[in-house]
Amino acid sequence: MTGLNRRRFLQTGTAGAGLMLAGSPGLLRAQAGQVLNVTAYGGVWETAVRECFVAPFETKTGARATVSLGAPAQWLAQVEASPQSPPLDVLIMSPDLAIVAAQSGLMQDLTVNRIPNLAKIPQEFTDACLGKGTYLDYGVAGITYNKDMVPNPPRSIAEFVDRVSAGEFVASVPSISYAITPIMLIWTMAEALGGGVDNVDPFFEAMERMRDNLVFWGGPNDFFNHLASGEADLGIYFDGRTWNHYDEGATWIDFINPEEGGALTAVAVQIPNNANPLAFDYMNEMLDAENQARFAEIMNYAVTNVDVVYSEKLQARVTPWQQTAFPPYEAIGAARNEWVDRWNREIGM
């Protein structure tokens, strides 16, 4: 029996009991010895996933979880290529691809019966994945600045645009090569300046006003280097990454959630159709308050279980999701190509 067939046999060979057991986390101990294949980004992400989610899952179920590293588009393609026997059981996804995956019919519905901790996740986060996923954690794309260079930082996106346009600061902003620039910059700035997903003219007008005082970053480390070298004074960046730099010694850096609300940039989790039923036990561990609190401490990002108690350090850093700008990911996805084309014509960076 091949490894793949063996996995399918183990998923379905209990004469229907798998579905019943999948609805009761902890009862699947009888299926110890199974292997679940879950996903994670590399680096500190992998470390946090293994420590905060894989370890408690393995302890409670007796099963083993292997961690596949990569990126959402790659993982989704793997599931699309083998939907009847998916090689991955739990996916980490970007919000836009989570919607694509849900609309394609490749993902399972999440219910409290199968994942009790789902009851502790705000309904808005599950609705954002069309009920076929939910959010694990989130960051805020706001204003990060060098305190030595900017003693009186702008408190809103509108003020940011005005002061950069006036030449008071040089700002570092994400280029169109960065995957979520349409969300964290184009939509957010358009929305803050009176436009929105159906009218991004205010964004492009603002970029034209600021263009002489802008530099562009293609990756998060580029942004930090811009501020560290003095090439830029401030810019649009993530809260969690800002605090990671701070904890690594860059105590001259600080973050502001703008008055209009910075874009909420979330990480979604989904379970493909025909995945190992133990995937529901694993996701229950991902949504557990204690496990999420440990994850947040490692990652410096907010998590989604409403019962999470943050450390004193994180309490001062985490922005409640209600104070963010919640992007209309589905509508942004539909407009994305048009925005990219316009960026390439008018900005070109």
Taking only the tens place, the pLDDT of each residue in 34-91 is: 899 999 999 999 999 999 999 999 999 999 999 999 999 999 999 999 999 999 999 9
Residue 230 CB coordination number (10 Å): 11
332 lies in the same domain as 244: yes
311 lies in the same domain as 256: no
Asked if residues 163 and 170 have their Cβ atoms less than 8 Å apart, the reply is: no
243 lies in the same domain as 95: no
227 lies in the same domain as 271: no
Q: What is the pLDDT of residue 348?
A: 87
Q: In this structure, what is the dihedral angle of CA atoms 99, 103, 107, 110, given to the nearest 10 degrees?
A: 70
Q: Which domain holds residue 160?
A: 140-264+323-346
CATH of the domain at 231: 3.40.190.10
335 lies in the same domain as 234: yes
Q: What is the pLDDT of residue 333?
A: 87
Q: What is the pLDDT of residue 33?
A: 67
Lowest mean pLDDT, pick from 16-25, 30-39, 318-327: 16-25
Average pLDDT, the chain: 91
Buried b (16+ CB within 10 A) or exposed e, 307-334: ebeeeeebeebbbebeebbebbbbebbe
Q: What is the pLDDT of residue 23?
A: 42
202 lies in the same domain as 229: yes
pLDDT band at 137 (very low <50, low <70, confident <90, very high): very high
Give the residue-averaged pLDDT of 296-321: 96
Give the residue-averaged pLDDT of 288-297: 98
Proportion of the chain above pLDDT 70, given as a percent: 91
Q: What is the pLDDT of residue 19?
A: 32
Lowest mean pLDDT, pick from 23-37, 78-92, 181-195, 308-322: 23-37
Give the residue-averaged pLDDT of 267-274: 98
Domain count, the chain: 2
Q: What is the pLDDT of residue 179?
A: 84
Q: What is the pLDDT of residue 32?
A: 57
In the chain, which ranges are continuous DSSP H helix?
Answer: 3-12, 17-22, 44-49, 55-61, 72-81, 95-103, 123-127, 157-165, 181, 188-192, 201-210, 220-229, 239-247, 278-286, 289-299, 312-315, 329-346
Quote the pTM value: 0.85
337 lies in the same domain as 223: yes
